[in-house]
Amino acid sequence: MRPPLLNPLFAPLESLSGIGPKMLPLYQKLLAPPDRPACVLDLLFHLPFTAIDRSRRALLADTEPDTLTTFYLRILRHSPPPAGRRRLPYRIVCEDDSGDVELVFFNSQRLRLDQTMPVGSMRYVSGRFTLYDGARQMVHPDRIMDEASFAKSPLIEPVYGQTAGLSSRIIHKIIAAALTRLPALPEWHEPSVLRQEKFPAFSDALNALHHPQQAHEVTQASAERLRLAYDELLAGQLALLLMRSHMKRESGMARKPNGRLLPLVLEKLPYELTQAQKQAVADISADLSSSERMLRLLQGDVGSGKTIVAFLAMVQTVDAGFQSALMAPTEILARQHFERLQPLAEQVGLKLALLTGRDKGKARKRLLEDLAAGQIDLLIGTHALFQDDVVFHSLGLAVIDEQHRFGVHQRLALSRKGVAVDVLVMTATPIPRTLVLTFFGDMDVSVLREKPAGRQKIDTRTIKLDRLDEVMAGLERALKSQQQIYWICPLVEENEELDLTAVNTRFKILAERFGADVGLLHGQMPALEKDAAMQAFSEGKTRLLVATTVVEVGVDVPNASIMVIEHAERFGLSQLHQLRGRIGRGSAQSTCLLLYAGDAGQIARARLEVMRQSEDGFFIAEEDLRLRGEGDVLGTRQSGMPGFRFALAEHHARLLSMARDDAKLFLEKDPKLQTPRGEALKTLLYLFERDAAIRWVKAG
């Protein structure tokens, strides 16, 4: 049970004054994690990403683009959109003594803008300008104030991530109310650590970040940020070590294959395994035969052949008399694994089945009965696998594909469906060594660096979006020569503010030009429509698939030889690498076109250059960590490391190893968290929602 003193923090958002039925959906959209509604704590943990420093005023000509600054500007003229063209932006030209800038507003009311910025008036404008075709442009300034308002405003104002309908100021006001709910929490760090690192108390850190007195207080290097990052990393490391010690305590079971099935499957393969694959298979065979429980990470670059290694592990488990299960993060991927492995399983006399959330009624009931009776050898599925009514006759091996897409508790739930179940987790995202040691330090690791013979080098090119007509002409030629093409868009719904073309809009444009050859695939489509779209593309019925990143992992269409990624500057390096890995799988020469906006920043262009130069996923992962590091390396939210809100790999690597050492040493002294500090650390685990770890303490 969660400690009662934390209850105010886990209270629903609507318990706060100012969040009624109209505002609640906006806050939920902004803050809610995937698995639950947002609560007060989510609001407190929504930290400002920067601060407006009104003490810093400069002339336009003296300011670098993309620098948050306050300017004192004269309003010169308004340029509203033409009648009937409301979707076009409203523009206001302003100037100071050094030059001019155009303020750009989408979906704004003309009357309000006329009143806020009458022509000829002087206004303080806070924001960042970019250069667009050589001219300064500021989209939706953070603040616009007259002399009186400016005089009353704090010199340092935090700026928060927003969503349509919620301004940074409104968010700050609600957070100020939420801070009054913050209880006095026990200190979970040693006094020596607090002194050495100059960490403030947890509540002081949160208060300071939401009410900064200096602009530098909201940066990643501030003591307040470092304190919260360390708290989060320590909670993560404690949970990880508690889970692994619990799994180690559960004695393993030797599952020695009798040696009949593996040679049979290898004989049926139309290719020979790479040396790295052979080594991984040998390592897994040794693990299965050992009385110690297997906990192995199979890490491989795009197209390195992880799936067949996992299948061979499952086959060996069946050969030893046990069932195997493979859990994939999406229905598309689970179905693809099933379709690819089913012929192999049939050839060697194994029963392979597929279970997804879509399976209902009699068919599902019959499948579950067969599973419980031991008539199914290998089961592939999605999250549906760890539901309570899924009962195995004798589960011996759980394979988790794209492990970072599942929570630890989900992986644990699947491994509990048998006795001393061996666990193999796979990732197609090459992970830098520092992160492997941190997140998978107690796992054995197999790495697949080689690609199977016959894989073609991919010609990767970077092209400005203003050359779209040339790209279209090239696609027309490719379609006439029967090639298949992916066109990747970053959003499903149009967001004018970001100037990104939505997948639906792009689909309409391409369908108008290329007709029935064009298909559509995105995550918001019903499951049956997604399957139909993917199948039509796989079978060549459609030859240009317009899609979101739903195709990022595992989708395999060997005939697809061209990929266009629109607004490639918006993607992380590892995600670009994953997407590009969907082509180059057949014998044809493949081409990847990275379309980018002309005003893409320096780091974005550096990422695209890395993609142009290299196809080595491990090199790309290291570069991703160096260039941005915010967790895209492990394929999760772009704002943090996997499952983390505050911890950023490139800023907090030192804290990460510190947290690991601290957790390890403490658990050696107090494995059941019974001392006063142990009790305080339990509060920390609950605070950062590592609740499952508490159960492992009790189970121990």
Look up the CATH number of the domain holding residue 100.
2.40.50.140
* Mean model confidence pLDDT for the chain: 85
By CB atoms closer than 10 A (0-12, 13-18, 19+), residue 97 is: exposed
Q: pLDDT class for 179, splitting at 50, 70, 90?
A: very high
CB 399 within 8 A of CB 380: no
140/102 Cα distance (integer angstroms): 10
Which pLDDT does position 125 carry in this prediction?
Answer: 93
Average pLDDT value for residue range 184-212: 95
User: If residue 593 lies in a helix (H) or strand (E), which one and from where to where?
Assistant: strand 590-596
26-35, 75-84, 356-365, 499-508: which range is least confident on average?
Answer: 499-508
Residue 254 pLDDT greater than 70, yes or no: yes
Which pLDDT does position 442 carry in this prediction?
Answer: 60
Tell me: do 469 and 568 sit in the same domain: yes
Q: What are the pLDDT digits (tens) for 473-493?
A: 999 999 999 999 999 987 554
Q: pLDDT class for 499, splitting at 50, 70, 90?
A: very low
Which pLDDT does position 549 carry in this prediction?
Answer: 80
Which pLDDT does position 39 carry in this prediction?
Answer: 95
Q: Is 538 inside a domain boundary?
A: yes
Q: What are the pLDDT digits (tens) for 19-39?
A: 999 999 999 988 888 668 999
Q: What are the pLDDT digits (tens) for 234-244?
A: 998 888 788 77
Residue 592 pLDDT greater than 50, yes or no: yes
Pairing of β 590-596 and β 560-565: parallel
Tell me: do 539 and 396 sit in the same domain: no
Tell me: do 358 and 439 sit in the same domain: yes
Q: Which long-range contacts (CB under 8 A, 24 or more apart) does 342-347 make?
A: 344/265, 344/268, 344/269, 344/311, 345/377, 345/378, 347/268
Read off the pTM.
0.61
Q: Is 585 inside a domain boundary?
A: yes
Instruction: Tell me the CATH number at 536.
Output: 3.40.50.300
Please report how many Cα atoms fall inside a 13 Å half-sphere around the Cα of residue 685, on the Cβ side. Answer: 25
635/404 Cα distance (integer angstroms): 7
pLDDT, greater one: 185 or 577: 185
Which pLDDT does position 132 carry in this prediction?
Answer: 80
Tell me: do 464 and 439 sit in the same domain: no
Q: Is 623 inside a domain boundary?
A: no
Give Cα 644 to chain centroid, integer Å: 11
The amino acid at residue 219 is T
* Residues present in the chain in total: 700
Tell me: do 466 and 585 sit in the same domain: yes
Tell me: do 428 and 552 sit in the same domain: no
628/579 Cα distance (integer angstroms): 18
Q: Domain range holding 344?
A: 271-448
Last residue of a domain, one of 153, 182, 211: 153
Tell me: do 555 and 412 sit in the same domain: no
Tell me: do 434 and 472 sit in the same domain: no
Q: What are the pLDDT digits (tens) for 82-93?
A: 887 777 889 999
Tell me: do 500 and 600 sit in the same domain: yes
Helix pair angle (676-687, 691-699), 10° resolution:
140
Tell me: do 412 and 492 sit in the same domain: no
User: Residue 81: helix, strand or coil by DSSP?
Assistant: coil
476/210 Cα distance (integer angstroms): 53
Q: Is 543 inside a domain boundary?
A: yes
Number of domains, the chain: 3
109-123, 128-142, 157-171, 638-652: which range is least confident on average?
Answer: 638-652
Q: Which of 101, 97, 163 is nearest to 126 (CA)?
A: 101
Q: Is 222 inside a domain boundary?
A: no
Tell me: do 444 and 576 sit in the same domain: no
Structural tokens at position 276? 């790295």
Tell me: do 505 and 532 sit in the same domain: yes
Which pLDDT does position 219 carry in this prediction?
Answer: 83
Which pLDDT does position 8 carry in this prediction?
Answer: 95
Which pLDDT does position 146 carry in this prediction?
Answer: 93
Which pLDDT does position 640 carry in this prediction?
Answer: 36
DSSP one-letter code for 591:
E
